[in-house]
Amino acid sequence: MVRRRKVNNMLGLAVLAALAERPMHPYEMAAVLRERGKDEDMPIKWGTLYTVVRNLEKYGFITVSESVRDGSHPERTIYQITREGRVEFADWVRDLLAEPQREQPKFMAALSVWQVLGPEEAMRLLRQRLTLLDAEVADRRTTLMGYAGDLPRIFLVESEYGLAMREAEAAWIRSLLDELTTGSFPDLGAWREWYETGRLPSEVRSPTERGEQSD
Amino acid sequence: MVRRRKVNNMLGLAVLAALAERPMHPYEMAAVLRERGKDEDMPIKWGTLYTVVRNLEKYGFITVSESVRDGSHPERTIYQITREGRVEFADWVRDLLAEPQREQPKFMAALSVWQVLGPEEAMRLLRQRLTLLDAEVADRRTTLMGYAGDLPRIFLVESEYGLAMREAEAAWIRSLLDELTTGSFPDLGAWREWYETGRLPSEVRSPTERGEQSD
DNA sequence: CACCTCCTACTCGTAGACGAGTATACGTAT
DNA sequence: ATACGTATACTCGTCTACGAGTAGGAGGTG
């Protein structure tokens, strides 16, 4: 039902997950997340972490369990999850799992305006992206293999998903590039002409011109 | 090189794209975007639109071309793109195309903590997601087909990409569900036991337990 | 033993994102 | 004629996200 959550930031989910295990102070949460490599896909912003923790407390999802002065170090505030917090946590995960929530992908935004670059440059950039993507895929596949022996599968599906999506994107780009290089992509000539001369060949009408009112 | 842009919001890209065509006032930009269906993947937030326009002006990417009082209506400020704006626009598109910039996908965050739900519920939710995804895919495929006759291909790659990614996600979920239902997913029994009793069977160690310091 | 850097554990100020509100005119049903 | 919804075109205030700063101690080095 995707109802807007009190605490919306994804870091909040990570905090709840960490506290579901055992009480911790914020800095420790960050350390735990980093240790498990979660920060690769979701870098921990300090400001956000403390804001999120404060808000989770405000809404009763977590409470202060104790405030320790460790002799040295500044005072650390240790938080624990509440019953409401556990409910919210599970509920949140449920929503995220069941509802495909599209966050606007930047690449898609770029593709919606890629005509401003000429076909040659677009192809060059796509090739560059593909190279980087392939490297990422190889890298992730290796680390995944490395973990595969140590960790139960259930902790790996996340990485498997990330890998699968990257592979899918790479495959898509590959096929687009293929069309562009073999020339089987229609309107390539028109695109090039428009880009070089600034004028559209008569056989192609862009949606821009269609949409334009003559006022 | 992904240098941090003066105006980072993706709506800024849309504004530059609109103004690259012809001068407009903000409300008209929103109308144009909506007309072209761009708002589906990137809903237009009013506050953000005006903030972004103000910032683009601040950094010299756009300037006020005229301020019209149309007899009726409040005064409309019409903006036009500057030379610097065109440069920034093209440069931005270049970066977005060439550099795979991972925005943290919420689904992945959910998968990283999905063990808090039992296997049965997780499967149910994944099935639900799959149904919704399939519907989306079918829907998008239909509209894409509809446009295919009217619009040059170059304006459709964006939608094609969106479709491909959704299909890939659906396929991935399908195969995961398959493993889970046939029971070929390892540790399924351990997961269920842990979920129901709260205790881990001895043969499985979670990374939690591994990572825990005994202080 | 002075210095330097890294680690711990935050705080604070600011820029950005956004929703809800506002004000005017136009059409249209009553 | 009047009331009511709807499109236009923003403004304003709040809440969030974040980066940069801080400050003490530990631990290593020349």
Record: contact A96-B90, CB cut-off 8 A: no
- What is the rounded distance in angstroms from the CA atom of residue B24 to the CA atom of residue A125? 30
pLDDT band at A70 (very low <50, low <70, confident <90, very high): low
Whether the per-residue pLDDT at A89 is higher than 60: the answer is yes
**Closest-CA distance of chain A to residue B167, Å:** 9
**Tell me: the pLDDT tens digits for A7-51?**
999 999 999 999 999 999 999 999 999 988 888 888 899 999 999
Chain A interface, best mutation among B112, B115, B151, B203, by max A CB count within 10 A: B112
- Nearest nt to the CA of B55 via C1' is C16
pLDDT computed for residue B3 by the predictor: 65
Count CB atoms within 10 A of the CB of residue B101: 13
Per-residue CA distances from B195 to A39, A179, B169, B190 (Å): 26, 50, 27, 8
pLDDT computed for residue A69 by the predictor: 63
Record: contact A186-B211, CB cut-off 8 A: no
Strand ranges, E, within A48-91: 62-68, 76-81
Q: Are B93 and A116 in contact, with CB atoms under 8 Å apart? A: yes
- Give just the sign of the alpha carbon dihedral B125, A52, B44, A113: negative
Which amino acid makes up residue A115?
Q
Q: Does A148 touch chain B (CB under 8 A)?
A: no
Q: Which residue of B has its CA nearest to A135?
A: B100
Q: Which residue of B has its CA nearest to A157?
A: B111
Q: Does A194 touch chain B (CB under 8 A)?
A: no
Chain A interface, best mutation among B28, B70, B102, B163, by max A CB count within 10 A: B102
pLDDT computed for residue A90 by the predictor: 96
CB contacts of B38 in chain A (<8 Å) are 112
pLDDT computed for residue B167 by the predictor: 98
- Look over chain A and give the mean of its residue pLDDT values, rounded to a whole number: 88
Whether the per-residue pLDDT at A215 is higher than 60: the answer is no
Q: Are B49 and B26 in contact, with CB atoms under 8 Å apart? A: yes
Nucleotides of D under 7 A from a protein CB: 8-13, 16-21, 23-26
Q: Out of A93, A133, A172, whose CB is closest to B116?
A: A93
Task: Find residues 43-72 of chain A whose CB sits inside 8 Å of chain B.
Answer: none
pLDDT computed for residue B104 by the predictor: 79
- Nearest nt to the CA of B74 via C1' is D9
Record: contact B116-A125, CB cut-off 8 A: no
pLDDT computed for residue B178 by the predictor: 97
pLDDT computed for residue B99 by the predictor: 93
Tokens of A6: 């009190």
Which one is predicted more confidently, B39 or A126? Answer: A126
Output the CA angle B19-B23-B27, nearest 5 degrees. 80
Taking chain B (215 residues) in runs of 10, the rounded mean pLDDT of each run is: 80 96 94 87 90 95 81 76 96 95 88 95 98 96 91 93 97 98 92 87 52 37
- Interatomic CA–C1' length for residue A108 and nucleotide C10, angstroms: 38
Q: Which residues contact B180 (CB under 8 A, 6 or more apart)?
A: B119, B122, B123, B126, B188
Q: Out of A14, A157, A206, whose CB is closest to B111?
A: A157
- Nearest nt to the CA of B73 via C1' is C24
- What is the rounded distance in angstroms from the CA atom of residue B14 to the CA atom of residue B30? 9
Residues 96-125 of A with CB under 7 A from strand C: none
**Closest-CA distance of chain B to residue A12, Å:** 11
For residue B22, which of A196, A210, A212 has the smallest C-alpha distance? A212
Chain B interface, best mutation among A5, A78, A113, A169, by max B CB count within 10 A: A113
